[in-house]
Each structure stands twice: as structure tokens, then as C-alpha cells.
Chains A and B, each alone.
Chain A
């Protein structure tokens, strides 16, 4: 048996209401449906969200038991430099693993899941699938109020399965609903009626019907049916045409998170698993260059999954982004003044970055084997003044440790897209102290002694070098 061992998700803290978008650029388009979209903070992107979802999924599990990481996205920061390898490094996975990027289509999330399933069946490994999208749409475009940012992570394995993958059926078409050439920032799309009538309402039913026929199943066998809700009226029509009951349909995240692209079907699957009971059958279909359909059977082990933030808790933690202009600045869609200090160029030394990859990307420091003191960044000579042992260190991961804020400031002089830049010293539970940026919070709510947790973020863009710089920040412990 192979299938899902664990799952997690991530939704960024900010939400922008469709009305906020419409009141800013509504003159260009039509009135959007009611709702809000999840918006990545200025220091978040596809990879940071993938790491957040992956951390959620791996909570309480041994990282050394993960044998592979597949990343699915349509908004990868790098065309060359494997994005999945970077995510695996941030998650502090072992080096003897398989990594792969699944790109170019909104069905890449389900494609990655199916490939992971094949790998697991072949050699009983554990593959972590992270699907994440942070899609930038042109201001005023019809996509803008529809697209949201988010990520899901699913650990596929062959033991302790909470939902077994029982079968799948895929269709592939070179369907040109949306496209973006290598050098382009924004996507193009053909008219909606074409996408809806020639693609959405044809390919999803084709995949689902194919699946039902292949495994001799009836649509009524399923507790939950998941497929993207791009056009509410046609969504309902597909349900009806399949002969399904509306109560079987997994609630869409469209008005709460937005369409998260390759992450969308996996996030809905996580939502379904959060409410699933042993014996439930779940059908998932994606849409993009065709469709992947698959079905899962929930096992008794589903009861053992606890403590995940998943979709549910992430939906509860939110703050409204009331300024459309701030959203533009966050996505680098409007040039904003960062001052002379913000224009200082930095060339990322890649060999330093590689040598210090565990320090920078995995937030690993040292722990002294002699006195037990954790310390960051890595040291060869123990910092404990009563110890001072040399080369008695073992690696020590801080990214999954909580801490308290020792002190902080809100700095208006430091260059920031969202001033003041809030940073401070963090004392980790169990030992260790260092300076960190503090993100996803407001200065007024920050206090000395406040509990914090760590979050992987995009810290800078080295435009001259074409490098996105990532490392860890602190944030208030989320409810």
C-alpha cells in the first residue's frame, strides 16, 4: 500500500479584498466576485511558502526518513538552479535524496503527487511533494482578483498511510489557455469562453470519467470530490453532469485564498483530509494542459495526524492588506523609493553560500558535545566561557525551535519595503541566541519576552547577480 503519510499547508498572513483591488484598478475591468485573496508578504515567494508547508507536513517526523522532494509550481524563482533542491536544503533534508521540479502547468501539483506515488511503489521510499504558487498578475487584469498565494505539502510513503492512493487517470492536451514565455513577467491568456468551454468543462469530466471507468467506480462512491472551481456556474454544471451530489463537493478556497495554481488541488485535498474519517473515498482532479484524476481511500491512521496547521488554522490567522499600493510594492509591480541605503549593491558570494548552506538555508548551528550549549551560527570553539572546547561540535537545527524575543527595535533608517524594519535578538528554547528579522507582525504588538517561531523567507534580491537570497526570520508564535 502506498499513499499519503502526512500533510501540511501554508497560507500567507495577508488577505486583500477583491473590493480593494477593484477600487484601485476596477476602471480597467469588470466587477470581481466577492471575496479575498491570500497575499504573500514582501519577503515571501513560492519557495518560502513551499518550505512553510513542508515544515508543517514534517512536524514531528524524522527529516532523515525523507528520501525525496518534488516541488510543483508555475512561479519558480529560478529557471536554472533547482528550486526543489533549495527547498530541500531549507528543510534540512539529507543529501542522498531525489529532487525534481514540476513546472509549467497548474496540474504540476497532481503530476508531482503521481510521480511520487510511482517512486514510492518502486522502492518504498518517502517523497515529500510541495506544491506552491505565488503568481504575479498584471495590475488590472482579470487574473488579479482570482489568483491567490499558498502552498500544500504531502508526504507520500508506503507505511503509516493515512490515505492510500488507489488509482489515477490522466489526460494531456497542449491547451493554450494561459502561457508565459521564459523572459516574460506576466502571463497571457486566451478569452475566457474558450478556456471554459473548450477546456475546463471538457477535460476535467474526461479525466474523472476515465478514472471511474478504469476502476469500475461510481461517482456516488466518493465522500469528497475535489476539482478547481474556476467558473462557479460551470463548476456546478460539471457536478450535475457527473451525477454527483453538491454535498460531495469539497468547498472551494476561491473566495478565501484565491486560485493558488499548482497548489490549489493539493490544498483542497489537505482541507478534505482535515475532515476525513476512516473509510472515506476522496477524488481529486486538477486542471491545466489537461487533467490528472486520482482517488484516495482514507485509513484508520488518519486519527494519528495532529498538530498540523494545515489549511484550517492557516485560514484563521490573517490580517487584511488594505492598501493596493502596498500590494504592488510587495510584488515589485510599482517602483518604490528605498533611499540611497537601499540602492547599495550586494553581490552574493555563491561559494560562501554553498559552504555555509546549512547555516544560511537550514538555520543549523552547532551544539557543543562537551557542555551541551547550542550556538548559532556554527562555531568551532565553544562560546560558553566555562567550556571553550574546540571541535567538539555536532550540527544543531534551530529552524524548528521556538524562542523568546530578548529585545527588538523598529528601524526607520534601515532600507525596507515595509518600514519600519523590525528585528531583534532571539533566545531559543534550549539555548542559543542570535539577531533575526521579525516578520508578519506589527511593531505595536511586539514585546520583550514574546514567544517566537522561525520562518524561512526571501531576505533580499541581488538584481545584479540574479540571485534571490533566503534565510530564516522570527515571527510571533501563531495561534
Chain B
């Protein structure tokens, strides 16, 4: 009977570059930066790594196909390196691969590294490309952009819960303002300016009803983790961070092609959450999850994710947002590092960047004291890739 990987694998080292429009750094530079910080933090040498998982999404933008670019860049000595890609959950998928490699008993020490170099397209937003359906994308689908596809969820959320555009946009503005506040304190974040609710509401429209500040940045970055077995972990450091659960869920087509989905939530988010809570033994996520880094590619995504992950009751996230529940000093801080909103979303790196924040917070090592949360017990990361009607969601839970 399968029992999951709870408490079988521990993270013993992590690295994360500064995120941003890094015009003077290529994907290879970013890989070296996150990797060096990571192995120094773990106190190991490169030769100790027995296998590696490499996450990158838009390979045509930066490193090319396969995993050879990482092996070559880091000069990994003929070890197995696997490239994974699963939309915005790519970074978390790299971590999942490394954790399963260790949990299976195949390896003692494994590396997960994610990278993305987005700022080499010459235009704003994510790179265009074949998207979700291969050639059928261009043949039958609208030219959906990321903001457009999530804007459709905002439109739907407002309609289902009877919010006027003004009320809805105000709720979302508070989500973005909160994250900018957190990001302003984080030296590794891309966007480090405080913004007001009024600024968010009055920003130019990108895809109605979402404005500029409802959208996360577009940045370059890399993050990495070294994992080992729970038995070996304490030999490397006194404060390893244990994997409590690592789950993903994918759309079945029901949301996009069947007519039952309400369009105001992400079904995979709910399903992945349920799987993760079961694996981690979490009964009441609203009470038990101390902090979370969720996939706030857009303000609406964070809002519905609070409901999908059962932090807030369905349709009631507005009350929690207004009560400040998810603020840095609230009952359940979300995006303590500033989130995708301030870090941007170098796709292959994001999941590991989120984990970096959870890892540092659990260890009490957030860079500045004003960012450090008090005694967090369980941290959750959440990635959502694709569009609300057709996507993948990953949920990871970690603790000391």
C-alpha cells in the first residue's frame, strides 16, 4: 500500500539568485549562481551529488533541449541528469523528481535546479509559442495570453459571487499591495517598491479586468535544492527541512470541455491540495499551514487559490483579504517573500524559489529580521501552470 514520501526526504541546502531583468546574465550564469549557493549551504561538494533533475520551460528561449546544458554548465561528472517540464510547476517537478530519486533508495544525494531566462524575447509578457495544444493552438484557439486567460477567471469570479468590477478590482488590488509590501523588504526580489490600492486600481488595463499591477513581473532567475534521505539529513546540518508532501494534479478536460466547472476556482488546485494534505497528515489547513508561497501569477490566481487550498471558505476570500489574514503580520502569511508578483516568474525556477523562502523561514534565516515569521511550523508552496480551464497544479508541504 503506497504511503507517500512524508518525512522520508529532507532538503539540506538551497540556493536562489536575485530575480530580475538580468541583461548581463544568461541561463548558464544563473545556473552557476544558484548551484554554488546551494552546495555551499548544504556543505557538500559537487562529487557528492549522485543524480540531478533540471527544470526549464521555454527551452527554445535559452538552453535548448534535454538536460545537457545543465550537465555541461555545472560540469557534472557523467551522472544521470533528467530534464523535466510541466508548465509553471516545472521547478517543483524538478524537486519532486529529486525527492522521489532519494525516497526510492536509488540515491543518497540529489540535486534539483530550475532556471529560466525570459528576458531575451524583445517584448513584454511571456514568450509566445505553441502553448497548450501544439499546432491546434494556432489552428483553432484564440491567441490566449497568460493575463487574458486569468482575466477570464476574474470576470467569472466577479459574476459568480456578485462583485461589481469596482468591488472585485479592489479586492484584487489588496492582494497585490500586500505582496509588494513584502517584496520591498526582500533583496532578491525583482520589484521592490510599495504600491497603493489606488495605484493598482488605476493602472493601465492589460486584459480586462486585470491591470498592470494585477500581473506578476517577467524576470530571469534560478533556484536549486540539495535533497537527501531523512536518515542522513542531520549529518549535514542541524536544521534540515523535511518534505511532508509533494503532489500534483492535472486537468482532465472537464473544466474546458464539460459544462460543470464554475470558472471561479481552479479544480486542480483544490484536488492537489486535498492530495497534499492527506500525504502530510494535515486536517485543517486554515489552522495548520503556518505560511505559504502560492502561484500569484495574477492577483486573481492568489485570491482563488486561498479558497482552493481551503485557507478561506468558497466565495469568502474577500473577507480574509480585508481582515489582513494573509499579510506578513496576519494569521496565515502568504507570499512572505513578495511572491511571483515581486519576483516575476522565471518558470523553471519559481517552484524552487518558493521553496527557498519556506526553507529559510523555517530555519529562521530570512535575510532581514522584519521579514522573519515567528516559529512557522508548516510551509506550503503552490504552482499553477497553464490556464484556469486547462492546467497543472503542484502543492508541496515542508516542515522542520
Instruction: Please tell me which stretch of B77-85, B251-259, B275-283 contacts chain A, meaning at least 4 of its Cβ atoms lie within 8 angstroms of it.
Output: B251-259
Contact with B along A394-413 (1 / 0, CB 8 A): 00000000000011111111
Contact with B along A403-447 (1 / 0, CB 8 A): 000111111111110001101110100011111110000010000
A436→B142 contact, CB < 8 A: yes
A412→B205 contact, CB < 8 A: yes
CA distance A73 to B122 in the complex (A): 41
CA distance A423 to B141 in the complex (A): 10
A383→B254 contact, CB < 8 A: yes
CA distance A411 to B153 in the complex (A): 13
B142→A423 contact, CB < 8 A: yes
Name the A residues within 8 Å of B145 (CB-CB): 411, 413-414
Instruction: Please tell me which stretch of A118-126, A191-199, A346-354 contacts chain B, meaning at least 4 of its Cβ atoms lie within 8 angstroms of it.
Output: A346-354
Name the A residues within 8 Å of B195 (CB-CB): none
Contact with A along B140-169 (1 / 0, CB 8 A): 111111011101110110010000000000
Name the B residues within 8 Å of A416 (CB-CB): 143
Contact with B along A330-354 (1 / 0, CB 8 A): 0000000001110010101100110
Partner of A377, one of B140, B156, B207, B263: B140
A408→B252 contact, CB < 8 A: no
The smallest C-beta distance from A231 to any residue of chain B, in angstroms, reads: 45
Interface size on B, residues (CB 8 A): 42
A413→B257 contact, CB < 8 A: no
B315 interfacial contact with A, CB 8 Å: no
A375 interfacial contact with B, CB 8 Å: yes
Instruction: Please tell me which stretch of B49-57, B123-131, B227-235, B363-371 contacts chain A, meaning at least 4 of its Cβ atoms lie within 8 angstroms of it.
Output: B123-131
B140→A359 contact, CB < 8 A: yes
With A339-B123, A414-B143, A421-B148 in contact, is A433–B138 under 8 Å at CB?
no
Name the A residues within 8 Å of B73 (CB-CB): none
A410→B208 contact, CB < 8 A: yes
CA distance A158 to B159 in the complex (A): 52
A460 interfacial contact with B, CB 8 Å: yes
Q: In this complex, what residue of B is CB-closest to A352?
A: B135
Name the B residues within 8 Å of A434 (CB-CB): 256-257
CA distance A376 to B258 in the complex (A): 9
Q: In this complex, what residue of B is CB-closest to A344?
A: B128
CA distance A37 to B182 in the complex (A): 57
CA distance A359 to B152 in the complex (A): 24
The smallest C-beta distance from A51 to any residue of chain B, in angstroms, reads: 16
In this complex, the interface size class of chain A, counting residues with CB under 8 Å from chain B, is 35 or more
Contact with A along B384-395 (1 / 0, CB 8 A): 000001000000
A409→B257 contact, CB < 8 A: no
B196 interfacial contact with A, CB 8 Å: no
A95 interfacial contact with B, CB 8 Å: no
Partner of A432, one of B128, B139, B143, B259: B259
Q: In this complex, what residue of A is CB-closest to B154?
A: A409
Most buried by B among A340, A377, A415, A433: A433
B121 interfacial contact with A, CB 8 Å: yes
Name the A residues within 8 Å of B204 (CB-CB): 412
B206 interfacial contact with A, CB 8 Å: yes
B389→A425 contact, CB < 8 A: yes
B144→A413 contact, CB < 8 A: no
Q: List 7 A-B contacts (CB under 8 A).
A: A356-B136, A410-B207, A421-B142, A423-B148, A425-B389, A448-B159, A471-B140
Closest 6 A/B residue pairs (Cβ) = A340-B123, A411-B148, A423-B142, A409-B151, A407-B156, A411-B207
Chain B contacts to A: CB under 8 angstroms? 121-125, 128-129, 135-136, 138-145, 147-149, 151-153, 155-156, 159, 204-210, 252-254, 256-259, 263, 389
16 additional contacts (CB under 8 A) given A411-B147, A413-B206: A344-B128, A379-B257, A385-B252, A406-B156, A407-B155, A409-B207, A413-B145, A413-B147, A414-B145, A421-B148, A423-B152, A431-B259, A443-B208, A448-B156, A448-B159, A449-B159
